[in-house]
Structure 1
Amino acid sequence: MPGDSEGNAFVSFSTTATGTEIRVRDGVGTHEYTLQTDVPVSLERASPDRFISPVDTAVSFTTSELHLPPDSSVVVRDGHGEHLCQLGPEPREFVRGTYYAEVSPSMKTYVLVPDSAFTGYYRDYDELGTGPSLEFESETRVFLGVRSPHDRPQATITVPDDPSAIATAVSALGSALKEYSCERSWPTLRGHPPAIERGGELHVPDVLEKPDTGVTIALPPTYADVYRVAPLAYYLGADVVTAAGIDPELRLDVGHTEPLRRPGRTLEASVDRLLARCLLLDSLVRIDGYYSFTRYEYDEVAPHLPFYPPELYGESLDAQLMEYLEVPFDVLEPYVPQWPTTAVLRPDPGDVEVVPSLLDPLSRIHVAPADESAGASATGPEHDSNLDSRLFDPTVTAYAGRTPPVGETRLVPAAFENARHQKRNTPSECHLQCFGVDAAAVDAFERIRDTVVASPPDETPTLTTEGLPTRARLRRALAGDADFLHFGGRVTDAGFACTDGVLSPSEVDEVAVSLVSIAGQRDVETLVPLVERGALAGIAHEPASPAEQVGLLAGYLGQTFSLAAAAALGVRTPYRLVGDATTAIAAWQLPIVIDVESVAVDTHRVWYWTEPTDETSLGSILLPTEEFTQQTHSLAGAPAEQSPRVSTDELVEVFEAGFVVRLNGEVYPTSGDLTAETVRRSARRSLDGAPDQP
């Protein structure tokens, strides 16, 4: 009957007064959408076990037409989950059978059509809006299952200032995983961990079901060690226990114990390696699961493994780990995704509340020495990679409670909460605001921006420029609708030097701008209050060539790169970052970098790399469709080498396609200006000091 409501804490369903609209709401976040039927429907609770992929809750109803949310994509699978097609502009008829329609609006949605024939098509600008529809041969009982993106904490754990209590809280963070099989390597099956707050006594809400995966991490009761193992504990759903005088170790119910601190390798390095090992190998084992796509990493790695990955699919987690631990890490290392963020926390209870936000994107966690005077070199992450140093790597290290080293990030916890309210725009919807640049700078800004932002030309961001503002004008701009704001004036410890005085960040009540840029990387702390008041991130860079740098930075941001990647590509003077540097302001196409290493003047190795984003985070796979690629799925963030090697003339065609290219370590924007001779000169310079001549 109209008004019926079903669901659980994660997802709820209800019908409107007419009974022909089904509203689906996310109980954890703010997502919502509506489906339309041709007749009034009555919702009945259904078992989530009917679906081949995990769903939080499900309902059934009878209808002859189902109109899905506008602008959704729909993949149709048979009753065994095998991919059949993606609905396109032309109607597609499906003979009687059982099908799953996988829909991608704001929440993962599955429509189970049991024993029926139907037609899938895209309606075009009717009263329901452009979008996909399913039309059944007769009135049919269909099942609707939905999985929340779970991008916010479901509950809050209270902890006292005690390492053992924090270890108990960390043991409950894995309750956010939708599955404890290798499928958890898919980011959509890893929900946001519960929040943690400091309090007088330990309290873990009953709604959080502590995982039982057969994996335990044992370690001494120190804040530093509990923080260090938190990412691995979350991903494995491990129980974290503490005892004085023991060395950190991984314990499996099958009876195996694996030391996590070895001679010559820190606990941090061991945890980083093990987490990377599990994510990569899980992604190979899951090829026998929900999605059996061909994979670049599978073809490269599987022949060198001591086991056949699909045979491990149904095994217990501890049994899988026993096999994973037998693989030499150097076999896996070239195919591990580049981790976007490593957080460096302080070894005290003050940083415990930021841990769940760091684990949501699966960030690594390291801990600084208790004496901060040890310096940046002592607190940075251990880089454990044999990948060629010329491969693009925009990873950043985020430091809690201190000014970061050059090129790194100041961790500001408020950035994570701000990001939950951010709307990702297309480049044409992005507004870039620049203050305090002269006419020559504006010309360079526009020229470089229009060069960097690839076709179509109507998909470039809007740029507005002004001279140095008054205090009131800058305050209004920071609270305005710009996605990126650059202040080209002088910045001091007191604030922004405007035409009528200095605007202190403490005088700015609200910041709606996503990213803020200033000239003067030593003034990075000025940006911290802006993030605390609403911005997502900021960058402070030396003003040696402001027009070119700001233009490149804005161009790469408009091409959907994160702030960290845009800075790594476009800012050539020292800079520091603040907030969530993995933030991207635009969503339109994949942020792609083509890495090139010349092995001869006319022969080149080529890697295809896509930056992990909040939409394609660690564990996602992507399918390149460009002609020069192998057109095989690969992990987001993992450089995929293309085969065969390409000639100089073939490489110039890649440049003309409008990609960002790193040629022998030097960045070339998508300008199309590179000629074959430019490539050959670069090759000669990089090959054993060969002379730079035609």
Structure 2
Amino acid sequence: MSIDIDPLCDAPGLTVTDHIENTQFELYTDRPVTPRPSPVEDHYFPVDASVTVETGSIEIPRIAVVEVRSSDGALLARDDDLTMPAGEYHLGIDPAPTKLYSHFESGFSVTTTDRTTRIDLETATEVTLGFRSLHQRPAGTITTPTDPESLMDAISHLGSALQTTSPERSFPTLRGHPPLIEPGTAFHVPDRIERPESGVRIVVPPSYRDVYPVVPLAYYFAAEVVPGSETRIEGDGWIHSLEPDVERRAAEALRQSFHFDCIARTEGFYPVDLHEREATVADLDWATLYEAPLAERLGAYLEVPFERIESELPKWTLTTDIRPDPDNVEALPFVAGELSIVRSPETATPAETGPGGGIGFLRAPEPGPAEFVRGGTGVEEGPDAGAEPARRGAGPRGADAPGDHGAALGSAEFVRPDPVETVEHAWVGDGVPLDANKATLDAYRRRLETGAVEQSRISVLVVCNDEQMREEGKVSELYGLRDMVQFDIEVRHDLTCAEMRDVLASDVDFLHYVGHVDDRGMQCTDDYLDLTREDLRVSVSAFLLNACQSYEQGEALIHRGSRGGIVTLSDVANSPATTLGRIVARLMNSGFNLRTALHVAKRELLTGHQYIVVGDGATTICQSRSGVAVVGEITSTESSIWDLTVEAYPNGPYGIGTLYRPVTTKSEANYTVPSVAHVGDISEEELEEWLQLETLPIFRQEELYWSDELFPLRDQE
């Protein structure tokens, strides 16, 4: 079973561990409980695991909204503060690290504090609790020849994963993972994969360059993709051209239709106050559009000129460049599932290798007199020039000829993708992209692996193989600073090659490596361990290789079993590398994925552009307390008055379209991820209360802080 439900050891309640998503949380009861397995059919919505306990209350340590439904599923109430009379109820509690449902017969009340949500029953009774992992798996694999026209038929079935064609499919839990695509000699679609008849067609010339950018549209619109001379979207009685710039126009259609679906869905099962609905300039009949078929609704959306509503659209999260090559067709379902904007560049601008192994603007800054880089070249300036490497701290410990090594990326083909307007950027295809996530099919596939997991705790291992970098080794203090997640954190120093092999073969959730890397591999106390060796076994899930030019060694970890990691493209000076390592540690501990963590770190450090993500950039090691990953920015307007900006990023199961609400008395509106919430005129006292809800990255005057460092605010002036 993917979900374990166990009694708490130190308080009345339960610990719930989802081994698929690496999430864990606690819920509390008013008395010790012994969970008894119960039928999953006891719940209105599907669940993976169900238990029954006797209790008079349920409390979870987070602010949540409780949906109350009758025995037939009708929505009766949705709030964080309510009272209901005696009756039979099905409750949904959101957000939680898993879908959390309860079923009981009793009157009850819901109350929230600044950190908890509590459900009190009129009397102690049996409560059935259901949990469903937010992990999603494809229904099957489509086999297809890889010529463009056959590929169009396969892409036409991606929308089979949608659990509805209503506007509610803008919720991530109702979209489902698209079926996989696999090259083959004949076209075959498993019987269980059925494309819904949406009435939408996408006409596109039969070339990879034209087909790839419409893949997310085919998925989200459940559209049939057919060959034609001019690229366009068609419905009954309407045509929307995607010419002359197919990539740009397809991106606009995706962003616009998704935005309007998030507004229209407020007319259905979730009639919430939505900021985007209040802010839109589009004068559409949302109630009528909610009831309309998908094709009719889409036609009405696309009649609104994009330029008219562009300013109200949130900054989209991800652009993926997919080279127009048949070798890349297997990545298409994963990119579609992320609702990424897709570009398909036919050529890639080469990036010239700079002096000293630097890559253009990525070249490491000149180190100061007492500084050193994490590669294999020494620093000859300063008062200790000419001293032995062990004294001046310049070369890698144990390197017999530092000057002869270190150009670990000298033979790699670097490419400079065109800039993107989205927050994140991924690259699928040959070449090492500058300032983008090098995504690989191996890593995408590992999203779907659900093998048995032995430990119920999240394991982090910090390895420091150089005594002069011990300062970064203190990052272990930053992992595990969570009150809802159990971490096993270990720090190890000066490992041998054999010990490092054992580490890589262990089921560690996150490896934070501090040391030296060059073309020989990772430096250990007795030799170098080359991670490109075929006999190396790798089970580490995610990693940060915080060393000079660690790209090729990190890419080897992806090919051999890891899901994703952060690596360097050039030499990195020790001080900024240490700073970045500590930032990434706190962000990963706070539930950020690799791609977003590096994006936030780059806002703080110019040298962050020397790092890229390899593999699956959506990899996380735990879930944030709020579900979504949140970055705040605060500005003081006058004495004791503040403005707050909250930027929410999609994260794991809380993907694009998730609802969120800043918990302040100044804002009762809901927002959709990835919208940015602006809340003004907050008092110092209320802002301090908000900062204490959760440890979050906060920018103030362009500098990065953490919320637990910022109060009392008056001391920060």
Q: TM-score range by the shorter chain?
A: 0.7 to 0.9
- Corresponding residue of 2:171: 186
**Aligned partner letter, 1:319:** E
- Report whether the alignment pairs 1:576 with 2:604: no
* Map of 1:232 onto structure 2: 217
Query: Cα offset for 1:566?
Result: 2.1
Structure 2: 5+ residue stretches without partners = 1-17, 24-33, 111-117, 353-413
Letter of the structure 2 residue corresponding to residue 166 of structure 1: L
Q: Residue 427 of structure 1 contacts residue 588 of structure 1 at CA under 8 Å; is this kept in 2?
A: no
CA distance in 2, matches of 1:467, 1:431: 14
Higher relative contact order (CA 8 A, sep 6+): 2
Instruction: Tell me the distance in 2 between the aligned counterparts of 1:101 and 1:156.
Output: 35
- The CA distance in 1 between the partners of 2:36 and 2:479, in whole Å, is 42
Contact 1:431-1:462 within 8 A present in 2 as well: yes
Superposed counterparts of 1:450-465, under 5 Å: 450=477, 456=483, 463-465=489-491
TM-score (norm: length of structure 1): 0.74
**1:442 CA displacement:** 3.8
Q: Deviations over 1:71-113 (max 9, x none)?
A: 999742246733436899x9x87435x7544478998687899
Cα gap change, 1:588/1:568 in structure 2, threshold over 3 Å: closer, same or farther?
closer
Contact 1:453 1:559 in 2 (8 A): no
Q: CA deviation at 1:208?
A: 1.5
**Aligned-pair CA distance for 1:191:** 1.1
1:77 to 2:69 alignment: yes
Task: Tell me the equivalent position of 1:273.
Answer: 252
Partner Cα separation in structure 1 for residue 715 and residue 279 of structure 2:
32
Measure, in 2, the Cα distance between the counterparts of 1:281 and 1:678. 44
Change over 3 Å in CA distance of 1:187–1:68 after alignment to 2: farther
SS at match of 1:95: coil
CA displacement 1:234-271 (0-9 Å, x = unmatched): 0000110013xx12111111x11111123xxx211211
Q: Residue 464 of structure 2: which of 432, 435, 441 is its match?
A: 435
Paired with 1:611 and 1:583, the residues of 2 have a C-alpha distance of 14
The structure-2 alpha-carbon separation of the partners of 1:66 and 1:163, relative to structure 1 and needing over 3 Å to count, comes to farther
Partner of 1:95: 86
Q: Is the Cα–Cα contact under 8 Å of residues 77 and 101 in structure 1 kept in the other structure?
A: yes
Match of 1:557 in 2: 588
- Letter matched to residue 560 of structure 1: G
Q: Which residue of 2 aligns with 1:9?
A: none
1:248 lines up with 2:248 in the alignment: no
Letter in 1 for 2:181: I
Structure 1 residue 497 displacement after superposition = 2.3
Q: 1:154 aligns with which of 139, 146, 152?
A: 139
What is the aligned counterpart of 1:544 among 562, 574, 594?
574
Shift of 1:220: 0.3
Q: 1:121 to 1:646 in 2, by over 3 A?
A: closer
Structure 2 matches for 1:125-140, cutoff 5 A?
Answer: none
Q: Does the 8 A contact of 1:433 with 1:482 survive in 2?
A: no
Aligned to 1:196: 181
- The amino acid of 2:270's aligned partner reads Y
Contact preservation (8 Å) 1:35, 1:67: no
Say which of 181, 193, 200 aligns to 1:215: 200
How many Å apart are 1:578 and its aligned residue?
Answer: 0.3
CA distance in 2, matches of 1:202, 1:544: 53
The offset of 1:178, in angstroms, is: 0.6
Choose the corresponding residue for 2:677, options 633, 640, 643. 640
Deviation for aligned residue 1:600: 7.9
Name the CA shift for 1:562/1:453 in 2 (closer, same or farther; >3 Å).
same
Q: Deviations over 1:39-78 (max 9, x none)?
A: xx9989xxx9xx7x8x799xxxxx9999999999974224
Matched AA of 1:248 = T
For the aligned residue pairs, the C-alpha RMSD in angstroms reads 4.8
Conserved 8 A contact 1:528-1:578: yes
Equivalent position of 1:611 in the other structure: 649
CA–CA distance in structure 2, aligned partners of residues 249 and 183 of structure 1 = 25
Counterpart residue identity of residue 77, structure 1 = R
Contact 1:345/1:399, CA 8 A, preserved across alignment: yes
- Counterparts of 1:595 and 1:64 in 2: how far apart (Å)? 42
1:290 CA displacement: 1.5
Change (3 A) 1:646 1:136: closer
Q: 1:135 to 1:533 in 2, by over 3 A?
A: farther
> CA contact under 8 A between 2:282 and 2:304: conserved in structure 1?
yes
Give matches, 1:288-299, under 5 Å.
288-299=267-278
Contact 1:424 1:586 in 2 (8 A): no
- TM-score normalised by length of structure 2: 0.72
Conserved 8 A contact 1:435-1:468:
yes
Aligned to 1:411: 439
Q: Which amino acid aligns with 1:252?
A: G
- Pairs within 5 Å for 1:252-263: 252-253=235-236, 255-262=237-244
Contact 2:513 2:545 in 1 (8 A): yes
- Conservation of the 8 A alpha-carbon contact between 1:335 and 1:639: no
Shift in CA distance, 332/672, structure 1 to aligned 2, threshold 3 Å: farther
1:622 positional shift: 1.6
- Find the aligned partners of 1:664 and 1:95 in 2 and give their Cα distance: 53
Partner SS state of residue 275, structure 1: helix
- Shift of the 37–368 alpha-carbon distance from structure 1 to 2, 3 Å rule, reads closer
Tell me how far apart the structure 2 counterparts of residues 64 and 552 of structure 1 sit (CA, whole Å): 41
Distance 2:190 2:472 in 1: 56
User: Does the C-alpha gap of structure 1 residues 443 and 238 become closer, same or farther in structure 2, counting only changes over 3 Å?
Assistant: same
**Deviation string for 1:583-621 (max 9, x for gaps)?**
111124133211246778987643112221112111111
State whether residues 516 and 523 of structure 2, in contact with CA within 8 Å, keep that contact through their aligned partners in structure 1.
yes
Q: Does 1:300 align with 2:279?
A: yes
CA distance, structure 2, for counterparts of residue 632 and residue 434 of structure 1: 45
Verify: 1:518 aligned to 2:545, yes or no: yes
Query: Given the superposition, is the C-alpha separation of residues 147 and 325 from structure 1 closer, same or farther in structure 2, using an over 3 Å criterion?
Result: farther
User: Aligned-pair distance for 1:329?
Assistant: 3.5
Alpha-carbon contact 1:595-1:607 (below 8 Å) kept? yes
Residue 136 of structure 1 and its aligned partner are, at CA, apart by 12
Does structure 2 conserve the Cα–Cα contact (< 8 Å) formed by 1:468 and 1:489? no
Contact kept in structure 2, 1:403 and 1:410, CA below 8 Å: yes
Q: Which residue of 1 aligns with 2:399?
A: none
Is 2:516 the partner of 1:490?
yes
1:398 matched to 2:427? The reply is yes
Q: C-alpha distance in 1, partners of 2:688/2:120? A: 43
Report the Cα offset of residue 473 of structure 1: 0.9
Residues 343-362 of structure 1 mapped to structure 2, 5 A cutoff: 343-362=320-339
